[in-house]
Structure 1
């Protein structure tokens, strides 16, 4: 008699876990190494069901001061579930030589509190799976650093913006607010 409850719990754990993985959108079914950490960032756990802004960043770019505006945007909407994910990249040859220097630029120089990954490829054949999915959904690869993708609660790209678009741009804010209104 006692074997059945244990077996049922085991089956529930196995199949329940698969059901949870199936509910996670393809865009978020990835793990990336966190910046300034030995831990990885499970995108489903961290961002599943949340509106999200994903930005490829660089430490030595003319757009690097956008970190300040990205942080302000994050703080403005984070209590509503909004998240920002910064993905440093040297694809445009403007990222710091070390992850430590990247972390200093983000966390010390600009006071970033939103999630940041270790440097990743965001363009071409070497693009991380997250960026391959962003590109597939939006039809647009980042053309430069600080290219922005707004993702709704279902893990779908609903808007994308060039590097020239500042974090306080009305069109970007409107897209973020649309993502906030989306249903999980």
Structure 2
């Protein structure tokens, strides 16, 4: 008869995600995970599989949570231009410790690039979901006269997404709150109708 699980799986996953987010995949040892999750080695394997499977699940959970937050900021205002600014400025955490973590997804890009097909597919799904909605908001903004009609909506959406990546990478590199938020506002102004 199998022993019942003696820990909360969701809590353990959140703790593992925090370790991977801070250290990345390669620099995180199984012992780091066991210590953070407060579980034994066999419990980790039984509940999550190996380190890679745990990383994929943690990254998937992280991406789902941040994508929902991104879309909420983008959609929470009738003004498409303000929604884009909210999306960008909202990436920059006020808490310096959190801000310096950057983005776990961007961290995975830096660590794996395009060498891991499963991670590329995960990032692609997230990028497409955000990109589609940013494009729609740009088209809305053009119809309202907020965003320049001279801009291609798809190219502008790509610009916004590259700006998102840049802000998150700069945050990981120690960028300050005011500078990063100023950059987010500057990028948004490039879209404004004149």
Shared fold (TM-score, shorter chain, > 0.5):
no
Given the two structures, how large is their TM-score scaled by the length of structure 1?
A: 0.26
Q: Which has the higher strand share?
A: 1
Given the two structures, how large is their TM-score scaled by the length of structure 2?
A: 0.25
Q: Which has the higher helix share?
A: 2
